[in-house]
Amino acid sequence: MRNPPGKNPRRRAPARLDSARALLAFQRLLHGALVRPLAPGDRMQSRWTDGRPMAEVAAEFIKPNDRLTAFDRLEIYNRMYWFRIIDSFYEDNPGLRAALGDRKFNRLALAYLAKHPSHSFTLRNLCARLEAFVRREPRWTAPRTALALDLARFEWAQTVAFDEAARPVLTAAEVGRADPARLRLGLQPYVALLALRHPVDTYMLAVKERDALRSEASNATTSTRHMKRSRKVALPRLERTWVAVHRVDNRLYYKRLEVPAFKILAALRAGRPLARAVAAAGRGVTPAQVQDWFARWMQLGWICRRK
């Protein structure tokens, strides 16, 4: 978590904690020290924001013990914070990591987290800005930036699909009684519609299968040498792909969509009346196709009341 906008960490510890104001100043100082980015070698930075030695600053509000200096004790928590943040970034982006490789992915993680540190009470939102960051600073993912953008969108969509809210579903009878020219249907907030340049859904399945096999091997009596020889997943080629990422019974699923079906769902999400949303599918779509699509979507619980 970072300081609120315009609230820089205090440069010196208050002499006494004898008021709410002094306590707040101390909390900001400690918070600022804990969340400062690490120096090379994963160590705490040696200088404070005003240029003073960090050892001197730490000694102002942390006591040493018989084994650790004030600097050492503060560094433990500074490193713990960043290691947890970085671990979360790794956990949320296995496909992107597989595509870029560990070294390049680590550089991306550090660059992104330095620019967009956690500012929420939950790590759920940590990667919310990753797609925009990759688009704005492609040097971290070149020459695979196009694939990286698809993967960032896809992996963030999984986060959204897993824990976004669900609204009351509509029944076929309720839809059938309404005027399609005026009826506006909702699409569940947890359903993410993605128009992608690569088939990253199948790529992610291959990555998960590879990782599952690796995990099984690591739990068996398998040598480290064998682990290092574990196969790489072939990168996906360019292929326009339309996917819905959603959940059923608290489990994530990916569903490929035909282009006309994708257009209908996108139009519903944009707030178009049912008749206009169906028309967005274009020519050549039969009523039977539309009926089949809606039957499936309603069975999955995607169609809901608009907020």
The domain 166-199+238-304 having CATH identifier 3.90.930: the answer here is yes
CA nearest to 100, candidates 60, 149, 166, 135: 149
pLDDT (0 to 100) of residue 1: 40
CA nearest to 280, candidates 270, 288, 295: 270
Q: What is the pLDDT of residues 91-118, one digit of tens each?
A: 999 999 999 999 999 999 999 998 998 8
What's the token pair of residue 186? 């909702």
State pTM to two decimals: 0.84
Burial class, 255, CB count within 10 angstroms (exposed 0-12 / middle 13-18 / buried 19+): middle
**What is the DSSP code string of 156-212?**
HHHHHHHHS---PBPPHHHHHHS-TTT---EE-TTPEEEEESS-HHHHHHHHHHHHH
CA nearest to 130, candidates 101, 96, 165: 96
Mean pLDDT of 139-163: 97
* 192-196, strands of its sheet edge to edge: 192-196, 241-248, 251-256
What's the token pair of residue 104? 């390049």
243/224 Cα distance (integer angstroms): 37
pLDDT (0 to 100) of residue 222: 46
Domain ranges of the chain: 20-161, 166-199+238-304
Helix axes 54-61, 20-35, angle to 10 degrees: 140
Share of the chain above pLDDT 70, in %: 91
